[in-house]
Amino acid sequence: MVAAIRPRKGGRGAVETTLPVGSGLSSSAALEVAVALALGFEAEPVTMAKLCQRAEEAATGVPAGLMDQLTVTAAIEGSALLIDFADLSMRPVPIPEGAEILVVHSGEHRSLDRTPYAARRAECDAAAYRLGPLGRLGADAMLGLPDALLRRRARHVVTECDRVRWCATALGAGDLVDAGRLMSASHASLSEDFDASTPALDGLVQHLQAIPGVYGARMTGAGFGGCVVVLGEPGAVDLAKLSTPAWRVRPSPGAQVQVL
């Protein structure tokens, strides 16, 4: 980040966080944005997010996406953020009252540079090269791919984009049951078609889905370990009875400088 911003003055700083590292909760994006703000870099959210994305790829070699950085910079309090990556347009989707959002750790820590994340990106790029932008395709488009593995990867992306749009509609209508159903379907696709899950993540999702009052659950982030996000009724999940760390969370505004 320092190399990307090239501040005129140097200094010393300390980093403190309550966000678990290597858990699929965007800790790297949070650090990047925090450093940019601390160094005095000012820009609108998309420009800030792109700078952070370039810095992360330079530091790790991982072809990371832009969702984490955009969420950290452009979040709206009380809302989810619907992002169209074709044009980077964003729309806040208010979270209905009566919804409780939990994050539960699977107990598996991971670092993306030691996972098949880059291979999944390459597989999606190969499918898109043959079919066109996957987020704009219909559900049957991947049938034109002769490679069975690429068909599975493309099917996940195409159906996931649909699920995201449908979930935004469900939240807008206050339909938490349908939103939760779509979250659970998302995890199944990530596990079966994208091969981005693990037995620990799958087992935790199944356990949480079986709790009365839980509408749905799916892994967070790029997968291969980390956390599960849960949508449910308030108090449906007793955090004290879980064997791994868990947190109740709420949608907050984007990152900002606080002068103490």
Residues serving a catalytic function are 68
Q: Give rounded-to-5 percent helix, strand, coil for the chain.
A: 45, 15, 40
HEC string of 59-92 equals: HHCCCCCCHHHHHHHHCCCCEEEEEECCCCEEEE
Give the containing element (helix H, strand E) for 249.
strand 246-249
Residue 9 DSSP label: S
Q: Radius of gyration (Cα) for the chain, nearest Å?
A: 19
Q: For residues 93 and 186, give the distance between their C-alpha atoms in angstroms, rounded to a whole number.
A: 18
Q: For residues 46 and 74, give the distance between their C-alpha atoms in angstroms, rounded to a whole number.
A: 8
Provide the token pair at 123. 């597989």
Residue 223 DSSP label: -
84-93: long-range contacts at Cβ-Cβ below 8 A with a sequence spacing of 24 or more?
Answer: 84/135, 85/135, 86/133, 86/135, 86/136, 88/46, 90/45, 91/168, 93/168, 93/171, 93/172
